[in-house]
Amino acid sequence: MTVQIPVVEQVLSANDQIALQNRSVFDRYGIAVVNFMASPGAGKTSLVLRSIEGLRGRRRIGVIEGDLASRIDADRVAAAGAPAVQINTGGGCHLDAPQVADALAGLPLAELDLLLIENVGNLVCPTNFLLGEHRRVLVASVPEGDDKPLKYPGSFVTMDAVVLNKIDLLPFVDFDVAAFERGVRAVNQRAPIFLLSCRTGEGLEPWLEWLAAA
């Protein structure tokens, strides 16, 4: 009598297999990796720059910048004194794990504590592609409106932290902070929510503490 043994192993996508390899590289080097996701213009690069500045002397930070085109953001990061690699997706709307694997060759991994990955500006599909990161951060901003969590629940649900940037604009915009927080909590009960302004520096300290502990 033959017994059929059911295959219960989860079959990983090609992307997720590479993501696991990336993760083992990061773990071997003792690097904590944080994947930043947001709509275009929410302030991902500004938050990366503030984080480099705020953790200078405490954490050695490297950056991978994902963009459709240009190396404007990587140049800004390099000017701030952090090693940076630009990935141009050539129109692709998210980063994937193989792109990140290729980018690692351009970073001094043995000299890093923290790697910040700025994903392509897009709140839809980047969340579906693991890169090997340990933490995921969603950056929202006041001008985008307080209904963002209700419109993109699938993005908010996977996040380890949520940043609300540009709070210096609150006096000028109809934005209900409590409604935003309720929207986040409706889909995600565990992610801390950081209210801050990269422009003025207000509220950065708790974010920096979270990032340093990542």
- The single residue among 19, 34, 73, 191 that binds Mg ion, judged by CB under 5 A, is 73
Give the one entry of Zn ion, Mg ion, none that residue 45 binds, where binding means its C-beta sits below a cut-off of 5 to 8 angstroms depending on kind: Mg ion
DSSP codes joined into one string, 69-103: S-SHHHHHHHHTT--EEEEE-TT-SS--HHHHHHH
Binding-site residue total for Mg ion (CB under 5 A)? 3
Q: In what order do the strands lie in the sheet with 84-88?
A: 84-88, 61-67, 114-118, 32-38, 135-141, 161-165, 193-195
Pick one of Zn ion, Mg ion, none as the site partner of residue 148 (Cβ within 5 to 8 A by kind).
none
- Whole-number minimum distance, CB 125 to Zn ion, in Å? 3
Among 78, 109, 125, 179, binds Zn ion (CB under 5 A): 125
From 3-11, 117-125, 141-149, 155-163, span contacting Zn ion (CB under 5 A) = 117-125
94 binds Zn ion (CB under 5 A): yes
Residue 94 in contact with residue 8, Cβ under 8 Å? no
Nearer to Mg ion, 49 or 159 (CB): 49
Any contact of residue 170 with Zn ion (CB under 5 A)?
A: no
Which strand (E) or helix (H) includes residue 116? strand 114-118
Tokens found for residue 70: 């240009």
Tell me how far apart the alpha carbons of residues 72 and 69 are, in angstroms, rounded to a whole number: 9
Q: Angle at Cα 200 formed by Cα 196 and Cα 204, nearest 5°? A: 40
Is 45 a residue that touches Mg ion (CB under 5 A)? yes
- Given the rule CB under 5 A, which residues bind Mg ion? 44-45, 73
- Given the rule CB under 5 A, which residues bind Zn ion? 93-94, 125
